A and B are shown apart, each in its own frame.
Chain A
Amino acid sequence: MQVSYKWLKEYIDFPYSPEELGHVLTMAGMEVDEVEYLGEGIDEIVIGEILKLEKHPDADKLLICKVDTGDEVLDIVTGADNVFEGALVPVAKIGVTLPDGLKIKKAKLRGVESYGMLCSSDELGLSEERASGIMILGEDAIKGTRLIDYLGLDDYVYKLDLTPNYGRCLGMLGIARELRAILGDRKVNYPELTIGETQEEVTGLVKIEVMDTDLCPRYTGQIIKNVKIGPSPRWMQQRLTAAGIRPINNVVDITNYVLLEYNQPLHAFDFDKIAGKKIIVRRAREGEKLLTLDDKEWELSPEMLVIADSEKPIGLAGVMGGGNSEITEETTTVFLEAAYFDPVSIRKTSRGLGLISDSSYRFERGIDIENVLEAGRRAAYLMQEYAGGEVVQGAIDVYPEPYEPAKISLETGQVNSLLGINLSTGEIKNILLGLDFAVEEENEEKLLVSVPAFRTDVSRKADLIEEVARLYGYDNIPVSRPASKQQGKKSLKQKIVDLTRENMLAAGLDEIITFSLCGEDDYKILNLPEDSELLNQVRIKNPLNEAYAILRTTLVPNLLQVLSSNARKQIDRVRIFELGSVYFPAEGAEPYAEYPCLAAASMGHEGDPWQLGAPDFFYLKGVLENYFECLGLVDYRFERKEIPYLHPGRTAAVFVANEEIGFIGELLPDVIDTLDLKERTAIFQLAVDKLLQYMDLKRSYMELPRYPASERDLALLVDKEVAAADLQRSIRERGGKLLKDLEIFDLYQGERIPGDKKSLAFRLVFQAGDRTLTDEEVNERIEAIIKELEEKFSAKIRGN
C-alpha cells in the first residue's frame, strides 16, 4: 500500500510533519518501508508561457522563445520542434540543477544568448523513456507557479509493508481511522456520495442471482447510464499514480480510486455486453474458459467462482474482470459491481492460477462487508460527477445474512496481567471505543465488546488485548523478567557436539558451514554406483533451480567445493571441518530421517611422519585418534576399504566397537585434478550419533608410578604387507600388564633392506606398580615378544 501524505490529510487533519507521520505509522503497526518525496530534484522548475517564437538566425533547427515565467520574460533557445506560441512549459532557470545533475547556466547557442532551458518529461525524471519534445502542460497550468504544484508532486508517498492482519489499512479511510484512534480528538472526513438518481429503477434493468452465497455473502449492483469515457480528472490521476496505479480512463480510474479510499474492490462491466441482462454468481464449470483483462486465457475449475451472464463467464470473481465485458471507449452504460467474496475462495483461485490483483489481495485479507454498498454508491457518485453518468435509481443488494458482530468479553485483570500494566476498565473502554468497537460495561471489571465488520482480524480476547497494548503504546509497557524455576543447561548430546567442535578446532581445523541443499551434479564427482544409498536423496518439489534441488546425503561434495574454491584463490593449505546433517528417505513412522555428521578435509599439510607421501591422510588420522581418545573411545580400528572417489591404497573404514561409523582416505588423483586441489588431499566423515553410544567421558585418577620404567627399542624387518597394527596387537598381548606403553617411532623402506620388506621400530616401556623391574624380567618379556613376532609374522630383529 502506498499512501500520499496530502491525500491522507483530506480524510483526517493530523498534526504530523511528513517525517513524523512515517514514525507514527510504523509505531502503530504499519511499517513504513520507504518514504519518497515526489518532487525530488524538480522543486525549482517553474511554469512559463511561450509568448513568441523566432527562428534562430544562424541555425535551422533552433528556435528562440520569449518565455514569460511570471516575474520576467526570458530568451531561451530550444532545439525542440513541438513548441508553439501560447504553450505552457516547464522552465529551468539559470542556477537550477536538473535531476540528472545538469546545472543550468547562461549559454550562447550559435551566437544567441539563452537564459535557461525548456524541459522534456524525461529530463525532469518524470518518464523513463526519452521524450520527443518539450513537455507541454495543460491550459489550466498557471505561469510563474511551481511545476510540482501543478503536477501534484509536492507530496510524500509512504510505502507501507502491511502485515496480513492490517487488511483494513489497505484503504485510505482505514489508515485515517487508525490515526483518529491514536489522536483521539478529531474525526474522519468521509467522502461525498450524493447521487441524483433517474426515475428508472435498477431492478427493472438487470437481475442478479447469487448461487453460492457461502463464497459470495454479499453482492450489489448499480447501473450508470450515458457515461462518456475519457480521461479522469488530473487530481484523480495524480493520486492514483502516487499510489502506484496507472490511470486508464475515467470509469476504470474511479473504481480504482474507490478501491484505494474504501479498501473495497469494485468492477465496472460494459452493461451492453452482458447477455440476457442477468448477472449470475456461480462456480465455474469444469473446463470453462475465460479471457481476463490482462489478455490471458484461463481454464477454470468448479472451485473457482465466476461472475457470469446468461451465457458465459464475464469475470473471475474478486480477481479480475473478463475481456468480453471490458469498458471501452464505446461504453455508454456501466454495470457496477461491489461485493464481498470469501477470502479463502479468492486465495485458492488466485494462487491456483498464479493471478494476483489489487482486488484479490484485498479480498484475501477480508474487507468490510457492511460497507460494500456505500463504496459502490461512492463510485456511482464519482461517475455521475466525472464521467457524465446518470445513476439509475436504487441498487440491487443480495445480502442474505447480514453481519452479526462477534461479542467478546474482556476482563480488566486479564488485560493487565498479560501485558504487565495497570489500566482501569474505563481506560480500556476508551481505547476500544476509539477504534470503533462497540463496548458495554458488564461490571466494573468486565467489558463486552462488539467487533465492527471491518475488523476482520479480531475474533477473540487476545486480539482485543493486542489492540489495547498497541494503543497504550509498547514503549509504555514496563520491563520485568520472569522468575526462573529451572536450571539452564545443555543436554549430553549437545555437550558432545560442543566438545567435538572444540576438539576439531584445537586440532587445527577451521569450521565451515555449507548449504544442505545441493544439486545432482554435485554428486557426479563422487562417481558413485547407481544403487549407492548416497543417491537415494530427498528431493524438493519446488526447487529454486537444479543446483539446490536435493538434500545432501553426505558432506563430502560440500567439503570438496570449499577446498576447490579456496585452492582456486591460491590458498593451498586448507584444513576444514563441518558438523552438519545429512538427509535420507526413511521407512517407518517418519518418512524422512536426518543424521548428524562430522566431516573434515585437509589439503597441503606439511610434515609426512612415515615418509609415505601421505601427510594429509596421517594428519587427519591423528585428528581422529586424538578425538576418539578425548571421547574415551578405546575400541576402534581402521580397516582397508574401497570408496569410488578415494585412493584404493589409502582409504580405511573406521570401526568403533565393531560398528563401521565412517571412513578416512585420500582423494583419487583424478578427483584432485578435476577440482584443482593440491595432491594428497584427504578427507574423513563420521556418523556422530553412532559415536555417542560408545563413548565414555568418565575419568578417574590412577596413582602415578613410583618405580622407574625400563625402555627397550625393537626394530623389526617384516614383509611390506604386514600391518603395523597387527604387530602392535601381538606385542601388547605378549608384553602383558607390565608393558605400559608402546609406540612406533620409525618406518624404513629402501635400499638398505630388501625391496619387499619394511623395517618398523617400536619403543616399549615396561613398568610395575610395586617394584623396580629387573633386567631379567624385562628380557624375558622381550624374548617372548620376539618369538611371537618371528613365528607369526616371520619378523627379523634388526641390530637388537
Chain B
Amino acid sequence: MDLLENLKKIEEEAELALAGADSLEKLEELRIVFLGKKGKITDVLKQMGKISPEERPVIGQEANKLKDRLNKLLGARKEELADVVRKQRLEEERIDITLPGTEVSAGRAHPLRRVTREIEEIFIGLGFTIEEGPEIETDYNNFEALNVPKYHPARDLQDTFYIDDHYLLRTHTSPVQVRTMARQKPPIRIIAPGRVYRSDEIDASHSPVFYQAEGLVIDKNISFADLKGTIQLFVQAVFGEDTRTRFRPSYFPFTEPSAEVDISCVICRGEGCRLCSHTGWLEILGSGMVHPRVLEMAGIDPEEYSGFAFGMGLDRITMLKYGINDIRLLYENDQRFLHQF
C-alpha cells in the first residue's frame, strides 16, 4: 500500500505548504505542484499500473478525495489571502479626513433679498399675492391718492426726488396700494416689496435708495384686531416666537387709526441696550386702518369695506436680523460681506 502511503504524505505535505503560502502567486504555484497535470497526485495516479487491479479503485477514490480536499483547502486559503489583500488596500488608502473639501462654487444670495424672499413666503402662506409697481411714480399715486395733498405738512416726512412736475421717484411702496385698488375690487390681500427713494444724505443709517414692503388687506369687516394679529404673526415668523410686539399711536396720512409697531429688542430681548437706545423696543414698521378718504378716492365704499395697510423698511429688518450696523454695507457689495450669508 505504498501509494496510499504516498497520498497520505502528499496530503500532509500539501496542508503544510498551503498553510504557509503567503501570496496568491505562491498558492498558484502550490496548485500546480500538487494538482497540476504534472503534479504530485497525477504522479501517484500514473503509478496505478504497478498495483493490483483490486487496489486501483481504492487508490483512485482516495486520490480524487484528496484532490477535492486540496481544492477546498486551496479555495479557502485563497479567500483568506484575498481578504488580507483587500484589507491591506483599504489600509493603504487611508486619508487625512481633516483636509478641507473641494470648493463648491454656488453663489450667495444678497441678505436683503433673502429677507425679502422670507417675508414674501410668510405672506403667501397667509393668502397674499405679490404686487409690483413702477419706481418712477406720479405725484398723484405717491401722495394725493394717499391723502397727502400738496402743501400738506405730511410731505415734510419724506424728502422727495422729483423728475418733473408730475413724476417723482416713489418715496414709499404705498402707491402700489393705489394701483392695486384701481385695478382690483375687494377682497384685496397683497404685499408689495420694492425699491424706494428719499433724498437723504448717505450715512450709516440713511440711504437715498432703499427697500420697503407694503401690505394691504381690504375686505368686509376687517378690523384693527386683524391688523394686530397679522403683524404679530409676521414679526414672530421673522424674529422668533418669543418676540413681543407693541402698537403705538402714530400718524400716516393714508391710515387711521395709525400705529407704529415696535418689537422687543433683538439683542437685549427688552432689557435695554445700545441698539434700542435702552428702551427695550425697536421700531420696525408703520401700519393702520386704511383711511376712508383713500378708499373713497379708489372708488371703494368705506361704509361697506374696511382694510389695513402696513409698510416696513426691508433694509432695517435685514440689518436687525443679521446684526448689520451700517446700511452702506448692503449696497457696497464687498465680497467678504456677501460671503457671510
Binding site for B on A (CB under 8 A): 26-29, 31, 163-166, 343-344, 347-348, 351, 364-365, 417-421, 460-463, 465-466, 469-470, 474-475, 477-482, 484-491, 494, 498, 501, 504-517, 538-544, 548, 551, 562, 565-566, 569, 571, 574-577, 581, 583, 591-592, 594
B224 and A420 within 8 A (CB): yes
A581 contacts B258, C-beta separation under 8 Å: no
Q: Knowing that A475-B246, A516-B135, A542-B199 touch, tell me 16 more A-B residue pairs with CB under 8 angstroms.
A: A31-B260, A417-B223, A419-B223, A460-B292, A461-B292, A480-B225, A484-B126, A485-B127, A488-B125, A508-B105, A509-B107, A511-B109, A516-B195, A516-B209, A517-B197, A575-B107
Residues of B within 8 A of A (CB): 105-110, 112-113, 117, 120, 123-130, 132, 134-136, 151-154, 156-157, 161-164, 167, 169, 187, 189, 195, 197, 199-201, 208-209, 217, 219, 221-226, 228-230, 232-233, 246-251, 253, 256-260, 289, 291-293, 302, 306, 330-336, 338-339
Chain A nearest Cβ from B275, distance in angstroms = 16
Instruction: Give the residues in chain B near A470, CB-CB below 8 Å.
Output: 249, 257
Interface contact B113-A513, CB-CB below 8 Å: yes
Checking B129, B161, B195, B199 against A486 with a beta-carbon cut-off of 8 angstroms, the contacting residue is B129
A482–B219 CB distance below 8 A: yes
Closest to A542 in B: B162
The CA-CA distance from A538 to B136 in the complex, in Å, is 10
Question: Judging by beta carbons under 8 Å apart, are A31 and B153 in contact?
Answer: no
| A463 CB contacts on chain B under 8 angstroms | 256
Report yes or no: B129 in contact with A420, Cβ–Cβ below 8 A: no
Chain A hits for B154, CB < 8 A? 164
Q: Which residues of the other chain, B, contact A489 by a CB distance below 8 angstroms?
A: 124, 129
For B224, what are the chain A residues with a Cβ–Cβ distance below 8 Å? 418-420, 469, 474, 477
28 contacts between A and B (CB under 8 A): A29-B249, A29-B251, A31-B250, A164-B152, A164-B153, A164-B154, A164-B156, A348-B151, A418-B289, A461-B292, A463-B256, A469-B224, A469-B257, A474-B259, A481-B230, A484-B127, A488-B127, A489-B129, A491-B129, A494-B132, A504-B107, A505-B107, A506-B107, A510-B335, A511-B109, A565-B334, A569-B334, A571-B336
Partner of B161, one of A344, A540, A569, A577: A540
Q: Give the contacting residue for A479; candidates B120, B225, B246, B332; CB below 8 A.
A: B225
Please tell me if the beta carbons of A505 and B162 are within 8 angstroms of each other in the complex: no
Q: A366's closest neighbor in chain B, by CB?
A: B153
Check A592/B167 contact, CB under 8 A, given A29-B249, A583-B136: yes
Query: Which residues from B are CB-within-8-Å of A571?
Result: 334-336
Residues from chain B with Cβ under 8 Å of A163 in the complex: 157, 250-251
Q: Which residue of B lies closest to A361 (CB)?
A: B153
Chain A: minimal CB distance from B12 (Å): 55
- Asked whether, in the complex, the Cβ of B248 is within 8 Å of the Cβ of A29, the reply is yes
Smallest CB gap from B289: residue in A:
A418
A471 to B, closest residue via Cβ: B249
In Å, the complex CA distance between A429 and B292 comes to 22
Q: How far is the CA of A490 from the CA of B156 in the complex (A)?
A: 35
Which residue of B has the minimal Cβ distance to A512?
B333
Partner of B292, one of A462, A538, A542, A581: A462
B120: chain A residues at CB < 8 Å are 490
Give, as a whole number of angstroms, the nearest-CB distance from A412 to chain B: 14
Q: Which of A163, A470, A513, A517: most chain B CB closer than 10 A?
A: A513
Residues of A within 8 A of B291 (CB): 462
Most buried by A among B197, B229, B256, B258: B256
Task: Give B154's nearest chain A residue, CB to CB.
Answer: A164
Q: In the complex, what residue of chain B is closest to A579 when comparing beta carbons?
A: B113
Given contacts A29-B249, A474-B247, contact A574 B335 (CB under 8 A): yes
With CB as the reference atom, state the residue of chain B lying closest to A348.
B151
Which residues from A are CB-within-8-Å of B292? Answer: 460-462
Q: Which of A420, A517, A565, A577 contacts B223 (CB 8 A)?
A: A420
A347 — which chain B residues lie within 8 A by C-beta? Answer: 151, 153
Partner of B108, one of A511, A542, A574: A511
A542: chain B residues at CB < 8 Å are: 161-162, 199
Residue from the list B126, B163, B223 in contact with A540, Cβ < 8 A? B163
A272–B258 Cα distance when bound, in Å, is: 50
A26 touching B129 in the complex, CB below 8 Å, given contacts A344-B151, A347-B151, A484-B189: no
Q: Inside 8 A of B135's CB, which chain A residues have their CB?
A: 516, 581, 583, 594
CB–CB A562/B229 < 8 A? no
How near does chain B come to A72, taking the closest CB pair, in angstroms?
Answer: 39
Question: Measured between C-beta atoms, what is the minimum distance from A536 to chain B in Å?
Answer: 14
How far apart are B257's CB and chain A's nearest CB, in angstroms?
A: 4
Query: Which B-chain residue is minimally distant from A474 (CB atoms)?
Result: B247
Residues of B within 8 A of A538 (CB): 136, 163
